[in-house]
């Protein structure tokens, strides 16, 4: 497993950032490829939601399960993979930073040996892009 970590500063208080990040319904505003979210509305350990996406003519559904909820501190989500792929857990931590929030993400990815030089920079760039989308959505 390869751990990818990155952070971003968001000019909103921790409680507002936590509320946005932990609401799966907000994912639709983060990516134009996301076409729908199926979620029962309960942000709790064990709750699952489905993200419906479309890339070109192909439609995809991905299921995630909430695995950690510590209000205004930590939130973790496990992306449920279809075998032979491996589940991936992303952990978000929230730290007060002046009047705003430092949002940190840490994800362990299975990376095939020999592909690290190509794959790790792509994963890190995707994490940075994801946090930048959160920042833009939360601050606007």
Confidence band of 112 (pLDDT split at 50, 70, 90)? confident
pTM, 2 dp? 0.91
Q: Which fold has domain 2-139?
A: Alpha-D-Glucose-1,6-Bisphosphate; Chain A, domain 4 (3.30.530)
Model pLDDT, residue 110: 85
Mean pLDDT score, 57-63: 91
Q: Where are the domains of the chain?
A: 2-139
What tens digit of pLDDT does each residue of 128-138 get? 999 999 999 99
What tens digit of pLDDT does each residue of 69-102 get? 999 999 999 999 888 788 999 999 999 999 999 9
Decide: 18 and 75 in contact? Cβ < 8 Å. yes
Q: What distance in Å separates the CA atoms of residue 8 and residue 112, rounded to the nearest whole number?
A: 28
């Amino acid at each position: 497993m390869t751990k990818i970590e990155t952070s971003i500063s968001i000019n909103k208080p921790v409680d507002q950032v936590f509320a946005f990040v932990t609401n799966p319904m907000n994912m639709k505003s983060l990516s134009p490829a996301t076409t729908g979210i199926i979620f029962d509305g309960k942000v709790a350990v064990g709750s699952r939601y489905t993200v419906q996406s479309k890339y070109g003519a192909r439609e995809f559904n991905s299921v995630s399960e909430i695995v950690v909820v510590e209000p205004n501190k930590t939130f973790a989500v496990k992306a449920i993979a279809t075998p032979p792929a491996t589940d991936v857990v992303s952990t978000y931590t929230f730290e007060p930073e002046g009047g705003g929030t430092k949002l940190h993400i840490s994800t362990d990815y299975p990376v095939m040996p020999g592909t690290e030089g190509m794959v790790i920079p792509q994963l890190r760039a995707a994490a940075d892009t994801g946090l930048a989308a959160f920042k833009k959505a939360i601050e606007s």
